[in-house]
């Protein structure tokens, strides 16, 4: 039996169909790969914080983690805010040089993770904020809490003390372009690495949508989850109770543990 060969037209149609399928699939694939890179960056930053804190306790000196350009907290003339970074920068690890004679002087301590990059290419730390996380609704923005656009932002050092205490600090990471117009769908692409100043617990929590914060306020639930939550699907009445119960369970037991890893929300 003689098999008929493909005609040029048929071959072109197959190529065209494959091109259309790739155009539909690969944008989502690229975005998913980018999101995984962002999540890996957040996990590495969390590991850096936990391991550096362990160093501080073991060595009996205070450590700091900060990003390039962070104003010196001991310099009253230093700028309190800096331009929002538009490139990927790596965190620096510093430690007290002589705690007794010069407690305010810090020197480079090197990363406990060696020479490995913490933030992956394309991931930016756009703010390091002191105090408890703020998920306030600002203007008409679809994203509650810190905004990631152009302009100025706050960068503070994270102090890790030898007695096991720390400071409330939130590292805001994103792989979104610096000039993007924020939409509700961008919430999973903004991750907050949060350090609990009371217990030293560290967890990764995505940005919250405006509607999610409004729902939490209505139901009396805290937007500070105390668990890893990076899922992109919307928080609704159907899953809010489950998330809240997990959050209460982890935050209630965090006082007895400084390991920092909450339940995975992925």
In the chain, domain spans: 33-256
Strand partners, 125: 173
Angle at CA 143, nearest 5°, toward 138 and 148? Answer: 85
Between CA 114 and CA 137 the distance in angstroms is: 39
pLDDT at 257: 43
pLDDT at 9: 74
Asked if 187 contacts 209 with a C-beta cutoff of 8 angstroms, the reply is yes
- Could you tell me the pTM of the whole model? 0.81
Between CA 52 and CA 112 the distance in angstroms is: 7
Cα distances (angstroms) measured from residue 43 to each of 10, 20, 129, 171: 49, 35, 18, 12
Asked if 178 contacts 137 with a C-beta cutoff of 8 angstroms, the reply is no
pLDDT at 106: 94
At the topology level, CATH places domain 33-256 in: minor pseudopilin epsh fold (3.55.40)
Angle at CA 113, nearest 5°, toward 247 and 265? Answer: 20
Asked if 130 contacts 169 with a C-beta cutoff of 8 angstroms, the reply is yes
Residues of the chain with pLDDT under 50: 29-30, 33, 255-266
């Amino acid at each position: 039996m003689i098999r008929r060969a493909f005609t040029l037209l048929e071959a072109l149609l197959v190529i065209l169909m494959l091109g259309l399928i790739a155009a539909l699939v690969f944008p989502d694939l690229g975005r998913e790969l980018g999101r995984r890179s962002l999540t890996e960056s957040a996990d590495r930053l969390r590991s850096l914080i936990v391991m550096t804190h362990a160093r501080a306790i073991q060595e009996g000196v205070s450590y700091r983690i900060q990003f390039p350009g962070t104003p010196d907290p001991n310099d009253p003339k230093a700028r309190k805010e800096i331009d929002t970074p538009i490139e990927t920068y790596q965190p620096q690890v510093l430690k007290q040089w002589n705690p007794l004679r010069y407690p305010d002087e810090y020197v480079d301590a090197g990363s406990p993770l060696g020479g490995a990059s913490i933030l992956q290419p394309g991931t930016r730390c756009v703010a390091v904020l002191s105090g408890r996380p703020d998920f306030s609704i600002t203007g008409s923005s679809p994203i509650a809490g810190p905004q990631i656009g152009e302009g100025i932002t706050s960068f503070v050092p994270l102090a890790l003390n030898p007695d096991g205490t720390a400071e409330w600090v939130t590292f805001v990471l994103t792989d979104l372009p610096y000039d993007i117009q924020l939409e509700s769908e961008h919430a999973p692409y903004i991750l907050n690495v949060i350090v609990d100043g009371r217990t030293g617990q560290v967890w990764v929590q995505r940005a919250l949508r405006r509607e999610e914060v409004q729902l939490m306020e209505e139901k009396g639930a805290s937007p500070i989850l105390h668990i890893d939550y990076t899922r992109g699907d919307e928080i609704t009445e159907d899953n809010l109770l489950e998330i809240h119960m997990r959050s209460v369970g982890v935050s209630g037991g965090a006082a007895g543990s400084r390991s920092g890893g909450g339940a995975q929300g992925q």
